[in-house]
Amino acid sequence: MSSLIKFIQKAPWSARIGIIILVMNIAVAAFAPVISPYGETEITGDVWEEMSLTHPLGTDHLGRDLLTRMIYGARNTIALALTITFLSFTLGTLGGFLAATLGGWCDTLLSRMVDLVLSFPTLIFALMVLSVAGTSILSLICVIAVLDATRVFRLARAVAMDIAVMDFVEAGRLRGEKTGWIILREILPNALPPLVAEFGLRFCFVFLFIACLSFLGLGIQPPTADWGSMVKENAGAITFGIFTPLWPAAAIALITVGVNLIVDWFLNLASGLKE
């Protein structure tokens, strides 16, 4: 724990801002029922009320408290994004490492499939699958996780390939070590730094992607609070000069900026670039 603090103390100011943003968001998400003034779907006022003491950020298109919706939105969106990122990461890393160490037909098959998915704009792909599978949370998770796993696969495979040709891996093979040892003990520890950075990037991507789909009305469905759909629902307000939709949009922007700042720091550390 103390080493973690020391590690963070060495971080540049930009990364520290990122860490603060991330910690705050996670805290808000974790304690949502405790800190939010009203219930998630409770109608407490008029449509699009201005900021006031009772409604610090005003109300939304149905007269619900915007701050409450924002807090619950953090909870729902972050939880969903994390789930999907973990899923896609496990899938992609496993596939990538297997392809790199086993090679042969396993590598060819997986790589071809991934190439095919990547030769198609992700958003269009997701839209088409959702049109067929319907817009449930489960299909949302599956579609984004699989699509995202293809990118993780590419990176994991490339990183593992780079390490797999190193002499120390060859020495392990010549010693007679099994594939499991080679992957877990020789390759994985060395692949970790770029993969950790990639996790952050993937999280951002997934987060934005969910927000996008929700904004298009194809992601998380009402009345569940979610930042992307909140922008969509309140979009009409902007033409009246009411900036309600900007709040959730800004929240999305803030958390992705925060994560990106941390990722940048990690990438710099991993590449040994000290400027």
Partner 1 sequence: MPTGLLNGGGSLNMKDMTATILKRIGHSVITLFVISILIFIGVEALPGDLAESILGQNALPETVEAFRKELKLDLPPHVRYISWLGDFVQGDMGRSLSNHRPITDLIGWRLSNTLFLAAVAAMVAVPLAIILGILTALYRNTLFDRIVSMVSLSAISFPEFFIAYILIALLSVKLSLFPSIATMDGQMSLMDKLYTIVLPCLTLTMVVLAHMMRQTRAAIINVLATPYIEMALLKGVSRLRVVVVHAFPNALSPVINVVALNMAYLVAGVVIVEVVFVYPGLGQLLVDSVAKRDLPVVQASGLIFASVYIGLNLIADLLSIASNPRLRNPR
Partner 2 sequence: MKNILNIKGLTIEGFNDNQWSTIVDGVDLTLARGEVLGLIGESGAGKSTIGLASMGYSRRGCRISSGSILFDGTELCQASDRVKQKIRGTRIAYVAQSAAASFNPAHRLIRQCTETRVRHGQLTAAQAEKEAIENYRRLLLPDPEGIGFRYPHQVSGGQLQRAMVAMAMACKPDIIVFDEPTTALDVTTQIEVLNAIKQITRHLGTAALYITHDLAVVSQLADRIMVLKNGRKVEENQTRKLLDTPGKSYTQKLLSVRSQRPIKKPVQLKQNVILEVNQVSAAYKKKELVLDTIDLTIRRGQTVALVGESGSGKSTLARAITGLLPPLSGEVIFQGNPLGASYRSRDRESLRKMQMIYQMPETALNPKQTIETAIGRPLSFYFGISGREKRKQVLEFLDRIELPASYINRYPGELSGGEKQRVCVARALAAKPELVICDEVTSALDNLVGEEILKLLQNLQNDLGVSYLFITHDLATVRAIADEVVVMLKGKIVEKGPRNKILNSPGHDYTKRLLNSVPKMNPDWLDDLLEKRKNTRSKKAA
The answer to whether the CB of 269 falls within 8 A of the CB of 26 is no
Contact residues for 261 (Cβ-Cβ < 8 A; gap 6+): 14, 15, 17, 18, 21
Shortest spacing between CB 110 and partner 1, in angstroms: 16
Alpha helices in 1-103 (DSSP H): 2-9, 13-30, 32-35, 66-102
Residues 37-66 close enough to bind partner 1 by CB under 8 A:
none
From 4-12, 61-69, 74-82, 236-244, give the range in contact with partner 1 by CB under 8 A.
236-244
**Are 197 and 267 in contact, with CB atoms under 8 Å apart?**
yes
Handedness of CA 14, 16, 20, 23 (dihedral sign): positive
Residue that is written with structure tokens 């067929």 in the block: 132
Q: Is 210 helix (H, G, I), strand (E, B) or coil?
A: helix
Mask 213-232, x = binds partner 1 (CB under 8 A)? --xxxx---------x--x-
Window 75 to 134, contacts with partner 1 (CB under 8 A): 115-116, 119-124, 127-132
Question: Which listed residue (13, 167, 180, 239) binds partner 2 by CB under 8 A?
Answer: 167
Compute the distance between CA of residue 252 and CA of residue 236 in angstroms, rounded to an integer: 19
Closest to partner 2 by CB, 177 or 264: 177
Block residue for tokens 């088409």: 128
Question: Least distance in Å: CB of 177 to partner 2?
Answer: 7
Q: What x/- string results for residues 185 through 204 when contact with partner 1 is judged by CB under 8 A?
A: -------------------x
173 binds, among partner 2, partner 1, none (CB under 5 to 8 A by kind): partner 2
Binding site for partner 2 (CB under 8 A): 166-168, 170-171, 173-177, 185-186, 189-190, 274
